[in-house]
Amino acid sequence: MKKLSARRRHPLAALVVLLLALACTGGLYAVFAPADKAQADETAQSLTIEEGKKLYTVGCASCHGTGGQGTSDGPSLVGVGAAAVDFQVSTGRMPAATSQGAQIPRKKNIYSQAEIDQLAAYIASLGAGPAVPTEAQYGPEGADAAKGGELFRNNCAQCHNFTGKGGALTHGKYAPSLEGVTPKHIYEAMLTGPQNMPSFPDSTMSEQNKKDIIAYLNAVNGDETESPGGLELGGLGPVSEGLFAWVFGLGALIAVAVWVAARTAKAKKS
């Protein structure tokens, strides 16, 4: 101690003290930093929810109520989960132009993905519900398209047709075509059951089942899908094929017959 005290007026003493102080501050920071970061995360999360609530108040609250409790114009959003929000908003179905009419159609999405995530975070904070699926859940790895076809015909084909071309329901409602719908949105639709579509939760249709169904749809509806029979005519089934054969097939035959008979073979002037 004496030694230390003796050197307190040394020209380098101030520098040593400064270094020690810096080391202490650094150490203290290292000890407390994780806690600070977690706090920062929580703040970011609550900020996201805050932002989501703002977006919600502007775009959604008029129908779904100020706290997502629902009104006569829109259902309660408590417990629908982030997956439902991501599906409805990023396919442009929500916000809807009107709650009237048979069904809310797909339209252009006006929100950025970040805004959708904020909205989803806010709705998810109202009550537990299915989360947005990850690429691992709907990606093509480990999927069995043949099994998916079987599942699709058993669970989905009654409304969406055998290769997902869609079909009519009652009173102007319809099952939309699944062509060009992203795997993520198909997964979310199965999970949450948008509008009149029944839901197929993981407890009755496993994650693997959903992955298989998406692989099947990609196999029959993708850009590279082969159609061995030739022109698909919309893939709607025997009705459109029969109509085409009767109208265009027979029509062409009649037109040729009329043309052959109407064209004279006579020399104009002899």
Partner 1 sequence: MSSQDIPEENLPAAQDTSHGAVKLADEQNPFADPGLPPHEPRVQDIDERAAKRSERAVALLFTVSMLATVGFIASYVTIPVDRSVYIWPIGHISALNFALGMTLGLALFCIGAGAVHWARTLMSDHELADERHPIEAAPEVRAKVMDDFRQGAKESALGRRKLIRNTMFGALALFPLSGVVLLRDLGPLPGTKLRHTLWSKGKLLVNMNTNEPLRPSDLIVGSLTFAKPEGLEEHDHDFQTEIAKAALMLVRIKPDDIKDKRSLEWSHEGILAYSKICTHVGCPISLYEQQTHHALCPCHQSTFDLSDGAKVIFGPAGHPLPQLRIGVNDEGYLEALGDFDEPVGPAFWERG
- Spatial distance between the Cα atoms of 138 and 170, rounded to a whole number of angstroms: 30
Q: What are the CA-CA distances from residue 20 to residues 4, 17, 24, 99 (Å)?
A: 14, 5, 6, 68
Question: Do residues 207 and 137 touch, judged by C-beta distance below 8 A?
Answer: yes
CB of 34: closest distance to partner 1 in angstroms? 38
Instruction: For partner 1, give the closer residue by CB, 169 or 181.
Output: 169
Are the beta carbons of 122 and 59 closer than 8 angstroms?
no
100 belongs to the binding site for partner 1 (CB under 8 A): no
Burial (0-12, 13-18, 19+ Cβ within 10 Å), 37 = exposed
Tell the smallest beta-carbon distance from residue 159 to partner 1 (Å): 5
The residue among 157, 168, 185, 184 whose CA lies nearest residue 103 is 168
- Among the listed ranges 6-14, 30-38, 120-128, 154-162, the one in contact with partner 1 (CB under 8 A) is 154-162
CA-based radius of gyration for the chain: 32
Q: Cα dist. 33→19, 22, 27, 80 in Å?
A: 20, 16, 10, 36
Cα 6 from Cα 59, distance rounded (Å): 73
Among 163, 209, 215, 220, binds partner 1 (CB under 8 A): 209
Tell me, what DSSP letter sits at residue 101?
Answer: S
The answer to the question of residue 265 lying near partner 1 (CB under 8 A) is yes
Count other C-beta atoms under 10 Å from residue 232's C-beta.
Answer: 13
172 binding partner 1? (CB under 8 A): no
Q: Of the ranges 5-13, 30-38, 137-145, 190-198, which one interacts with partner 1 (CB under 8 A)?
A: 190-198
Instruction: Kindly indicate which of the ranges 8-16, 28-36, 63-71, 191-199 contains the residues binding partner 1, using the contact rule CB under 8 A.
Output: 191-199
CA 185 to chain centre: 3
CA-to-CA distance for 137 and 147, rounded, in angstroms? 16
Whether 10 has a binding-site annotation, put simply, is no
Q: Which of 25, 66, 69, 206 binds partner 1 (CB under 8 A)?
A: 206
**160 appears as a binding residue in the annotation:** yes
Min dist. Cβ of residue 209 to partner 1 (A) = 5
- Which of 172, 230, 239, 262 touches partner 1 (CB under 8 A)? 230
88 is a contact residue toward partner 1 (CB under 8 A) = no
Minimum distance between the CB of residue 226 and partner 1, rounded to whole angstroms?
A: 4
Does residue 6 belong to the site contacting partner 1 (CB under 8 A)? no
The residues binding partner 1 (CB under 8 A) are 151, 154-155, 158-159, 167, 169-170, 173, 175, 193, 195-201, 203-206, 209, 224-232, 260, 265-267, 270
